[in-house]
Chain A
Amino acid sequence: MTYLNRRNMLLAGGVGGTAALLGMTLIPPARQLEAQELTVEDVLFDPDNPVLGNPQGSVTIVEFFDYQCPYCKANHPVLTEVVEEDGDVRLVLKDWPIFGAPSVRATQLALGAVDVGGYELALETLMATEGRLSDAAIEEALEEAGLDPTELDAAYRANRGKWDGLLSRNSFQATQLGLRGTPAFIIGASIYPGSMDREALREAIEASRT
């Protein structure tokens, strides 16, 4: 194993003047590790996490995100477009609330929306909000989108064990993967920290197919 330097990375990538992000691949022999160890399966195919895009897609994009993280929100339209255009991508948005109580609240209501069939709407609505959130702003936005926050809250509470378990797995995975913050993408088996534009996403998808 060698550490790459900037020169050979640029040559290898052939992207020229464009600076690059570092991706890292997880190569775990699935399930051979101890229970506490992390596998690609665990990260890409958590059974409780709702799936967007094409659920049967051959490539999985996981994003660790927060509803108040500005770069997650700015990045979201591009991500959605790329996933749609490709048509063969499973999109898994993993809630990792790092911006305090409103983020946790937004996460709870969006997950609650899974059981009432409104997850995608709730998620898109919350990702389209501007800036910092408050509990009131979250509920208002959801209401405007035609969702009932009380119903979402009740749905979340009804399955609290499942959702809280998912959130704690997400947080555990983020730590195990050494993620430094949100957004963080796992595409195929590589980690891409930080915001990704259209081209970066496309390339990462391609890279995971080879």
Chain B
Amino acid sequence: MTLILFRATQSALIALLAVVIALMSASPMAAQSSIFSSDRPLPAQEAFALSVSEQPDGTRILSWEIAEGYYLYRDKLGAQSESGTPIPLQTPAGASMDDPTFGSVEIYSSSAQAVMGPVDGPVTVTWQGCQNGGICYPPVSETLAAVEGTSTAPVSDGVALAQDNGMIEGLHARGGTLMVLAGFLGFGLLLAFTPCVFPMFPILAGILTGQGRDLTVRRGAALSGVYVLAMASAFGLLGVAAAWSGQNLQIVLQSPAAVYGVAAIFVVLALSMFGLFEVQLPAAWTRRLSSAGASRGGTFGGAATLGFTSALIVGPCVTAPLAGALLYIAGTGDVTLGAGALFALGLGQGIPLMIAGTLGTQVLPRAGGWMDGVKRLFGLIFLGMAIWLIGRLMPGPVILALWATLLIGAGVFAGAMDLLPKEADMGRRGVKTLAVLSMLTGAIMAVGAALGGNDPLRPLAVLQNGIAGPTNEQIAFHTVTTPDALDAALAGEPDAPALVYVTADWCVTCRVIERDVWSDASVQAALADVNLIAVDVTDFGEDGQRMLDRLAAVGPPTMVFLDRNRVERSGTRIVGDTGPRAVQAAVEAVR
């Protein structure tokens, strides 16, 4: 008997474990083999040697070289992601091992191969096999590092996007078409109280007020209904247009011509509301224009026009359901269901408008001087709407000057400069107070405009911050407007996760995000070492569309979170209105 050192453990045990040779005849199978070394089971790593080759598309081929006299079980080859999710492997049929004792199992001898599709992050591969006639090994596993640039989606231009299942697919799978429509109606209802829909309330109120004495509850309901139906139709049209051109009509329509056109409509509407001005236009024009809300004939047409333009131009809001439906149409070409879902979405957004429009008729004053006052007030609001619209196109100080003009004008017309008779009542004095206030505010804005300020709410901010400094602590985004600049920005910080934020000046929700999310201290902390890129699609054109296509985004606001490998994590994308918590969670996920 000879002794050898047995290296079973690392420490003192080694010295204590000696080995005595026992000579045995092995099992019949082993007995046929005359090579002694093959009888002692090899270490699992030697019995089954794994090698991995990567394909350009991120697919990996796992190959095991299997020592002679050893085999792997086909059903014991497995892979799972870092989070424990099983990853499917494609494996060829193995040889059938059909021993009465073993049952029927498929095995690979001499070599085995498995194909694994592209996967995010590290992957743990597991395998298990036996020495023929001798010993079965416990499962062996090895963790493979993430493949550079690997993704769950085809890699395009260095950014890999997650392929999340869309809302429509999800709803459709659960309850068919009806579920989709009901679901989107519900989404619309939820969105009805977001900044996107707020501008619609004064517009509708303006239409109703314009009816003057003729306004009844029934007429209010009918007008609101037409307005909302037109709005919903506009949403449905978005779907049709997306199928036809692959573009989001809302964004395409943010052209200067469309915006100026709608602004002009509001100005004319305002003028007809004032009634103070004789709008000297050709008779046909006057009919047309007044039909957009004021006089009796064709009022429904006017309400419909405003409803339609409201949805497309006044409040162009990209929300998660809208994006979902547009992407669904782009992906499947199913216009009917997509457009139907969008119509339901518009209808849902309009439900509170209809309720307000119907009940509101009872609140509005019936007749008399009050009515004229209210009409004038809405005239002012329409003018403000026009200024707000062209604010997307014109420089800030010009807009500020226009606001100043509007407020001063409103003050003058409301009697700020008129002398009040001694016997003036409370009401008139109140109105005059407001009128003076309006003039004062207008005057301050005029000063701000002259100083080059651009924020109507903080017209004198330039004085506080020096020359054109940032108005408050904001996160510094690297703003890009072309696909090339986007690439450069993404390549700029290779080792940091990235946030690509699609925004535009005309995006109402984006303003809210800037105010509530980017200014949040905890969000700022979370984004401290993140590569922040703002994709600005204000001047929408070919470049903008290419950037949106690349990000598979429908429009602003959209946030795409990319990890260090420029891979978007599934479920992190934020579309539409959001809050600080959602952004923090998404950043955590890609970190």
Picked from A1, A70, A200, the residue with its CB within 8 Å of the CB of B3 is A1
Within 8 A of A (CB), among B35-53: 35-37, 39-44
Q: A20-B39, A27-B17, A176-B13 are in contact. Are A13 and B23 (CB under 8 A)?
A: yes
Mark interface residues in A167-210 (1 if CB within 8 Å of B CB, else 0).
Answer: 00000000011101111100101101111110110011001000
Instruction: Confirm or deny: B431 has a beta carbon within 8 angstroms of a beta carbon on chain A.
Output: no
Q: A33-B16, A70-B130, A180-B41 are in contact. Are A20 and B6 (CB under 8 A)?
A: no
Picked from A19, A22, A196, the residue with its CB within 8 Å of the CB of B33 is A19
Within 8 A of B (CB), among A1-30: 1-4, 6, 8-10, 12-15, 17-29
Instruction: Confirm or deny: A31 has a beta carbon within 8 angstroms of a beta carbon on chain B.
Output: no
Stretch at the interface among B94-102, B183-191, B508-516, B522-530: B94-102
Set of chain A residues within 8 Å of B103, measured between Cβ atoms? 130-132
Q: A99-B128, A177-B8, A195-B133 are in contact. Are A22 and B40 (CB under 8 A)?
A: yes
Set of chain B residues within 8 Å of A29, measured between Cβ atoms? 16
Picked from A181, A182, A196, the residue with its CB within 8 Å of the CB of B27 is A196
Query: How many A-B residue contacts, CB cutoff 8 Å?
Result: 207
Within 8 A of A (CB), among B95-147: 99-105, 128, 130-131, 133-139
Q: A180-B44, A194-B41 are in contact. Are A20 and B134 (CB under 8 A)?
A: no
Set of chain A residues within 8 Å of B24, measured between Cβ atoms? 15, 20-21, 23, 192, 196, 199-200, 203-204
B8 x A204 contact (CB < 8 A): no
A190 x B20 contact (CB < 8 A): yes
Q: A180-B43, A184-B135 are in contact. Are A73 and B101 (CB under 8 A)?
A: yes
Instruction: Confirm or deny: B7 has a beta carbon within 8 angstroms of a beta carbon on chain A.
Output: yes
Instruction: Confirm or deny: B19 has a beta carbon within 8 angstroms of a beta carbon on chain A.
Output: yes
Picked from B8, B12, B34, B105, the residue with its CB within 8 Å of the CB of A19 is B34
Within 8 A of A (CB), among B2-29: 2-9, 11-13, 16-28
Q: A15-B25, A24-B19, A195-B133 are in contact. Are A131 and B102 (CB under 8 A)?
A: yes
Q: A33-B12, A130-B101, A180-B44 are in contact. Are A2 and B4 (CB under 8 A)?
A: yes
Instruction: Confirm or deny: B31 has a beta carbon within 8 angstroms of a beta carbon on chain A.
Output: yes
B104 x A131 contact (CB < 8 A): yes
Within 8 A of B (CB), among A33-80: 33-34, 37-38, 66, 69-75
A194 x B36 contact (CB < 8 A): no
Q: A19-B30, A71-B133, A131-B104 are in contact. Are A192 and B22 (CB under 8 A)?
A: yes
Instruction: Confirm or deny: B1 has a beta carbon within 8 angstroms of a beta carbon on chain A.
Output: yes
Set of chain A residues within 8 Å of B136, measured between Cβ atoms? 66, 69-72, 98-99, 181-182
Q: A12-B1, A131-B103 are in contact. Are A18 and B31 (CB under 8 A)?
A: yes
Set of chain B residues within 8 Å of A23, measured between Cβ atoms? 19-22, 24
Q: Chain B's nearest CB lies how many Å from the CB of A162?
A: 23
Q: Chain B's nearest CB lies how many Å from the CB of A13?
A: 3
CA distance A100 to B23 in the complex (A): 33
Set of chain B residues within 8 Å of A71, measured between Cβ atoms? 27, 130, 133-136
Q: A71-B135, A181-B41 are in contact. Are A130 and B102 (CB under 8 A)?
A: yes
A28 x B128 contact (CB < 8 A): no
Picked from B16, B99, B102, the residue with its CB within 8 Å of the CB of A27 is B16
Q: Chain A's nearest CB lies how many Å from the CB of B58?
A: 29
Picked from B5, B11, B36, B137, the residue with its CB within 8 Å of the CB of A180 is B137
Set of chain B residues within 8 Å of A177, measured between Cβ atoms? 8
A21 x B39 contact (CB < 8 A): yes
B130 x A19 contact (CB < 8 A): no
B20 x A24 contact (CB < 8 A): yes
A197 x B23 contact (CB < 8 A): no
CA distance A17 to B36 in the complex (A): 11
A20 x B23 contact (CB < 8 A): yes
B105 x A9 contact (CB < 8 A): no
CA distance A27 to B8 in the complex (A): 13
B102 x A70 contact (CB < 8 A): yes
B16 x A19 contact (CB < 8 A): no
CA distance A199 to B25 in the complex (A): 6
Q: Chain A's nearest CB lies how many Å from the CB of B496?
A: 41
In the complex, the chain A residue whose C-beta lies closest to that of B41 is: A180
B2 x A12 contact (CB < 8 A): yes
Name, among A4, A187, A195, the residue most crowded by chain B CB atoms within 10 Å (CB to CB): A195
Set of chain B residues within 8 Å of A13, measured between Cβ atoms? 21, 23
A132 x B23 contact (CB < 8 A): no
CA distance A165 to B131 in the complex (A): 29
B27 x A197 contact (CB < 8 A): yes
CA distance A3 to B18 in the complex (A): 12
CA distance A4 to B11 in the complex (A): 24
Set of chain B residues within 8 Å of A22, measured between Cβ atoms? 19, 21-22, 39-40
Set of chain A residues within 8 Å of B138, measured between Cβ atoms? 96, 98, 181
CA distance A180 to B40 in the complex (A): 10
A1 x B5 contact (CB < 8 A): yes
Q: Chain B's nearest CB lies how many Å from the CB of A102?
A: 12
Set of chain B residues within 8 Å of A189, measured between Cβ atoms? 20
A195 x B135 contact (CB < 8 A): yes
Q: A12-B23, A71-B136, A193-B134 are in contact. Are A26 and B4 (CB under 8 A)?
A: no
Set of chain B residues within 8 Å of A66, measured between Cβ atoms? 136
Within 8 A of A (CB), among B126-179: 128, 130-131, 133-139
Set of chain B residues within 8 Å of A2, measured between Cβ atoms? 2-4
B134 x A194 contact (CB < 8 A): yes
Set of chain B residues within 8 Å of A190, measured between Cβ atoms? 20, 22
Q: Chain A's nearest CB lies how many Å from the CB of B74?
A: 12
Picked from B22, B42, B101, the residue with its CB within 8 Å of the CB of A21 is B22
Q: Chain A's nearest CB lies how many Å from the CB of B77?
A: 13
CA distance A2 to B18 in the complex (A): 11
In the complex, the chain A residue whose C-beta lies closest to that of B99 is: A70
CA distance A20 to B35 in the complex (A): 9
CA distance A72 to B133 in the complex (A): 10
Set of chain A residues within 8 Å of B99, measured between Cβ atoms? 70, 74
Picked from B5, B30, B102, B135, the residue with its CB within 8 Å of the CB of A183 is B135
Picked from B16, B26, B101, the residue with its CB within 8 Å of the CB of A196 is B26
CA distance A192 to B139 in the complex (A): 20
Picked from A26, A72, A193, the residue with its CB within 8 Å of the CB of B17 is A26
Q: Chain A's nearest CB lies how many Å from the CB of B93?
A: 17
A8 x B135 contact (CB < 8 A): no
Q: Chain B's nearest CB lies how many Å from the CB of A129?
A: 9
Kindly list the 5 A-B residue pairs having the minimum CB-CB distance in the complex, ordered from nearest.
A131-B103, A13-B23, A23-B22, A194-B134, A200-B24
Pairs A–B under 8 Å by Cβ, sample size 12:
A8-B2, A15-B25, A18-B26, A19-B39, A20-B22, A22-B39, A38-B9, A178-B8, A181-B136, A181-B137, A184-B135, A194-B131
Q: Using a CB–CB distance below 8 Å, which chain A residues touch chain B?
A: 1-4, 6, 8-10, 12-15, 17-29, 33-34, 37-38, 66, 69-75, 96, 98-100, 130-132, 176-178, 180-184, 187, 189-190, 192-197, 199-200, 203-204, 207
Contacts beyond the supplied A3-B4, A19-B34, A70-B136: 7 A-B pairs with Cβ under 8 Å: A2-B4, A4-B4, A12-B21, A20-B23, A28-B16, A74-B102, A132-B105
